[in-house]
């Protein structure tokens, strides 16, 4: 029997990514269009119920039709704002700096579309600036819903009206809801989600993979991340959610792996045809072959157990934006960063030898407490290079971020687990190194 198309509900947004060194600015349709691209690439039948400004309506309708959308419904009109989001960092090295233009002036008028969407029985909703309760009445009692509640839900109460009609609840570690409810301990968040009686709960953990909690079987499965150089991470999570839900219930484990693979392909290009080509290739793999590819697994809540020693000229008097950016990135990904200069003191020039010796011993003791070293050797700082050497002698993994290309010598290149002038590459290297430590734990 032919299945009904998956209906994707949410806002259509214009993504504008600011130009950065080595990357041009990028303007493209975003919001649920990212999810639509994922379904199109997989050859899945889908429809869209879109909330968008009037000026985007015909462009969005035409674009989606050319990318496999079988039905386009204008669910609601955005007024007072252009629905344009400015993105500071498309690679998600740290906070991406999203700015929703005129967000304080924005409002949404929901249209009565009951006759247009009541026929859909499988629905994926990306909550936004619209009232979820107002759209529920448009669907039948047989409709099953999945929700990706990444950014526009303050708590799980917004889903209470859909309880017992939910297939999947999906959330990301970058979500404010996750940070307020589950960052320290996932148990409370799982308890609140379970009250809504979904089949599964998916936690996307960025470069550390994801975890799928099956509430019907009480199984937990880790889905690894396939790490590569990120071209653009915007919309990657939406693709993951759409492809997973598109594969449907009854095979959630495989569906999550398929979604993760599609998300990886989406992060490698902003050109839809190239993305589709890569997805089609991955779909030819059996589930067993897909699992054999492995990948990186490092759960969010395990990362603080592996403190990172910052080897860098972290002095207050230095101009060190690269060091500060690295620290922000490590903390964003929930690593505990140990900064010896801040913890053990910054010594002035000409300090007493006894004080120097004491500080040296304190720094060495701190190095021994850490599981890995993240080095940023600006200006060939001798202290940083000594710390790298000591870590290598202890067989601690060393990630060297050399943004000014000042230290590409044999010992640093050969000794570092990862060496690069690209912070994205270094973060991937750190995840791989710590993942190996986590997976080899007793």
CATH number at residue 97: 3.40.1190.20
DSSP conformational letter for 89: -
CA-to-CA separations, 345 to 309, 353, 377, in angstroms, rounded: 15, 15, 19
8 Å CB contact between 149 and 192: no
* Tokens describing residue 187: 């148990």
- The band of 21, judged by pLDDT with boundaries at 50, 70 and 90, is low
Q: How far apart are CA 55 and CA 61, in angstroms?
A: 11
277 lies in the same domain as 309: no
8 Å CB contact between 20 and 91: no
| Domain stop point among 249, 277, 297 | 297
Nearest to 378 by CA among 360, 356, 405, 397: 405
| Residue with tokens 């050969």, as numbered in its chain | 414
- Domain with 158, as residue range(s), is 6-297
In a domain, 122, yes or no: yes
187 by Cβ neighbours in 10 Å (0-12 / 13-18 / 19+) ranks as exposed
In a domain, 265, yes or no: yes
324 lies in the same domain as 260: no
3-state secondary structure of 292: helix
289 lies in the same domain as 306: no
Q: What is the pLDDT of residues 348-379, one digit of tens each?
A: 777 788 988 999 999 999 999 999 999 999 98
135 lies in the same domain as 83: yes
Q: What is the mean pLDDT of residues 19-29?
A: 77
Q: Provide the β-strand partners of residue 122.
A: 144
Q: How many CB atoms lie within 10 A of CB 217?
A: 11
Q: How far apart are CA 406 and CA 322, in angstroms?
A: 13
212 lies in the same domain as 305: no
In a domain, 402, yes or no: yes
pTM of the model: 0.93
288 lies in the same domain as 306: no
Q: What is the pLDDT of residue 22?
A: 63
Q: What is the pLDDT of residues 382-441, one digit of tens each?
A: 999 999 999 999 999 999 999 999 999 999 999 999 999 999 999 999 999 999 999 998
DSSP conformational letter for 5: P
3-state secondary structure of 283: helix
Measured in whole angstroms, how far is the alpha carbon of residue 183 from the centre of its chain?
A: 14
In a domain, 292, yes or no: yes
284 lies in the same domain as 319: no
55 lies in the same domain as 186: yes
* Tokens describing residue 124: 């994926």
In a domain, 251, yes or no: yes
Q: How far apart are CA 223 and CA 261, in angstroms?
A: 10
8 Å CB contact between 303 and 208: yes
158 lies in the same domain as 42: yes
Measured in whole angstroms, how far is the alpha carbon of residue 385 from the centre of its chain?
A: 32
Q: The domain spanning residue 390 has which CATH number?
A: 3.40.50.450
Measured in whole angstroms, how far is the alpha carbon of residue 357 from the centre of its chain?
A: 43
Q: Examine the pLDDT at 228 and tell me if it is beyond 90.
A: no
* Tokens describing residue 154: 């303050």
176 lies in the same domain as 312: no
In a domain, 155, yes or no: yes
Look at the chain and report how many structural domains it folds into: 2
Helix (H) or strand (E) holding 46: strand 46-52
Residues 6+ apart with CB under 8 A from 127: 10, 147, 148, 149, 152, 153, 158
Least confident interval from 71-75, 82-86, 209-213, 345-349: 345-349
Q: Examine the pLDDT at 31 and tell me if it is beyond 50.
A: yes
Q: Provide the β-strand partners of residue 220.
A: 213
| Domain stop point among 297, 316, 351 | 297
| Domain stop point among 275, 297, 319 | 297
Largest Cα separation within the chain, whole Å, is 83
254 lies in the same domain as 332: no
3-state secondary structure of 322: helix
- The pairing of strands 372-375 and 99-100 is unpaired
8 Å CB contact between 21 and 91: no
Q: What is the pLDDT of residues 124-157, one digit of tens each?
A: 999 999 999 999 999 999 999 999 997 777 789 8
Q: DSSP for 415-432?
A: H-SEEES-HHHHHHHHHH
In a domain, 192, yes or no: yes
Q: Tell me the residue ranges of DSSP E strands in 134-209.
A: 144-148, 166-172, 200-204
Q: What is the pLDDT of residue 139?
A: 95
CA-to-CA separations, 399 to 333, 352, 360, 421, in angstroms, rounded: 15, 32, 22, 11
Nearest to 260 by CA among 216, 209, 299: 209
In a domain, 1, yes or no: no
Nearest to 261 by CA among 248, 273, 275, 251: 275
Q: What is the pLDDT of residue 2?
A: 52
59 lies in the same domain as 26: yes
Q: Tell me the residue ranges of DSSP E strands in 364-425.
A: 372-375, 398-401, 418-420
Q: What is the pLDDT of residues 252-300, one digit of tens each?
A: 999 999 999 999 999 999 999 999 999 999 999 999 999 999 999 999 9
8 Å CB contact between 31 and 56: no
Residue 166, φ and ψ in degrees, nearest 5? -110, 130
């Amino acid at each position: 029997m032919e299945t009904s198309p998956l209906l994707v509900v949410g806002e259509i947004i214009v993504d504008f990514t600011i130009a950065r060194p080595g990357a041009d600015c990028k303007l493209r349709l975003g919001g649920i269009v990212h999810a639509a691209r994922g379904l199109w690439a997989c050859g899945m039948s889908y429809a869209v119920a879109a909330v968008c400004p009037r000026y985007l309506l015909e462009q969005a309708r035409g674009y989606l039709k050319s990318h496999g959308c079988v039905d386009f419904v204008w669910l609601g009109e955005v007024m007072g704002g252009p629905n344009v989001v400015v993105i500071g960092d498309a690679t998600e090295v740290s906070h991406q700096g999203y700015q929703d233009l005129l967000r304080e002036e924005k409002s949404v008028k929901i249209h009565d579309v009951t006759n247009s969407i009541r026929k859909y029985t499988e629905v994926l909703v990306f909550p936004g600036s619209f009232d979820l309760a107002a759209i529920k009445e448009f669907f039948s009692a047989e409709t099953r819903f999945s929700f990706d509640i990444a950014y526009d839900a303050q708590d799980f109460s917004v889903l209470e009206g859909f309880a017992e009609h939910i297939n999947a609840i999906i959330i990301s570690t970058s979500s404010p809801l996750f940070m307020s409810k589950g960052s320290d301990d996932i148990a409370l968040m799982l308890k609140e989600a379970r009250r809504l009686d979904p089949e599964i709960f998916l936690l996307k953990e960025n470069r550390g993979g994801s975890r799928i909690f099956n509430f019907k079987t009480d199984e937990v499965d880790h889905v690894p991340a396939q790490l590569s150089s990120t071209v653009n991470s915007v919309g990657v999570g939406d693709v993951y959610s759409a492809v997973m839900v598109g594969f449907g219930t009854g095979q959630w484990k495989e569906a999550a792996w398929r979604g993760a693979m599609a998300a990886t392909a989406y992060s490698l290009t902003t050109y839809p045809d190239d993305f589709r080509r890569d997805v089609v290739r991955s779909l030819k793999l059996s589930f067993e072959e897909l699992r054999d590819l492995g990948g990186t697994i490092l759960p969010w809540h395990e990362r603080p157990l592996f403190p990172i020693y910052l080897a860098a000229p972290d002095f207050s008097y230095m101009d060190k934006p690269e060091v500060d950016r690295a620290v922000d990135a490590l903390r964003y990904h929930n690593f505990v960063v140990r900064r010896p200069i801040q913890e053990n003191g910054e010594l002035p020039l000409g300090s007493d030898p006894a004080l120097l010796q004491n500080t040296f011993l304190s720094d060495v003791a701190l190095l021994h407490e850490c599981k890995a070293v993240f080095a940023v050797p600006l200006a060939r700082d001798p202290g940083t290079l000594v710390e790298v050497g000591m870590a290598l002698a202890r067989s601690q993994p060393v990630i060297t971020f050399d943004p000014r290309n000042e230290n590409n010598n044999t010992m640093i290149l050969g000794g570092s687990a990862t060496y690069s002038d690209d912070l994205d590459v270094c973060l991937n290297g750190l995840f791989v190194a710590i993942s190996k430590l986590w997976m080899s734990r007793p």
